[in-house]
Homo-oligomer: A and B are copies of this chain.
């Protein structure tokens, strides 16, 4: 009697793996690497803890799979950020604002990034797949910057990566440091007025900076 791989079984396997990954993403983002509990991940799943070892090998590998998956997803989402406007100043402002929104939409990811930095990037550093993944996200910036320089509206001593750092730091901050900053300065970054204010501000900052001669 021969055993044949049933196609639906294959699919079930994929589904189980995907479910574990999704739940693990939540739990790691929620509690950090050390704080996350393998038991909790399993419990929030329809499968058992044993499957984590079956599919991923252990907590560490699961965490790394979560990291990789999250970065891959973000990369794809970023590539969908399209800013098509002829005026580079308008385009730059839009990009800043879209990035702002984008971070708000992916808070779990930003928490994962914070967590990974707490671990000094030791896990992401072992993810060769991310290393070979095409360098992210600065091509749009490159292009806007180039057009702005051509038109003579942008300063010429700034590179795409510089702008990316400025925008990223600001956008990450609103999510990653929300709690302590909010507590100490009595601001609520989630309040809609404050959020709109901050969204406008990052455009002002970047455009103001870049258009300085």
Name the contact of A177 in the complex, choosing from B113, B131, B155 (C-beta under 8 A).
B113
State A198–B161 Cα separation when bound (angstroms): 11
A204-B209, A212-B208 given as contacts; is B121 within 8 A of A114 (CB)? no
CB–CB A166/B114 < 8 A? no
Closest CB of chain B to A98's CB: distance in Å?
A: 18
CB–CB A115/B117 < 8 A? no
Most chain B C-beta atoms within 10 Å of own C-beta, residue among A71, A168, A183, A209 = A209
A-side interface size class: 35 or more
Q: List 16 A-B contacts (CB under 8 A).
A: A31-B34, A71-B184, A114-B117, A135-B184, A135-B186, A138-B185, A155-B208, A161-B187, A162-B197, A162-B201, A164-B185, A165-B170, A169-B177, A170-B170, A205-B209, A208-B208
User: In the complex, what residue of chain B is closest to A197 when comparing beta carbons?
Assistant: B162
Closest CB of chain B to A19's CB: distance in Å?
A: 24
Q: How would residues 94 to 118 of chain A score, 1 for a CB under 8 Å from any chain B CB and 0 otherwise?
A: 0000000000000000010111111
CB–CB B118/A166 < 8 A? no
Is A41 an interface residue, CB under 8 A from the partner? Answer: no
CB–CB A173/B169 < 8 A? yes
List, in ascending order, chain B residues with CB within 8 A of A204's CB: 209, 212
List, in ascending order, chain B residues with CB within 8 A of A185's CB: 135-136, 138, 161, 164
State A158–B136 Cα separation when bound (angstroms): 32
CB–CB B117/A178 < 8 A? yes
Is A33 an interface residue, CB under 8 A from the partner? Answer: yes
A7-32, CB < 8 A from B: 31-32
Q: How would residues 174 to 213 of chain A score, 1 for a CB under 8 Å from any chain B CB and 0 otherwise?
A: 1011111111111100000000011001001101111110
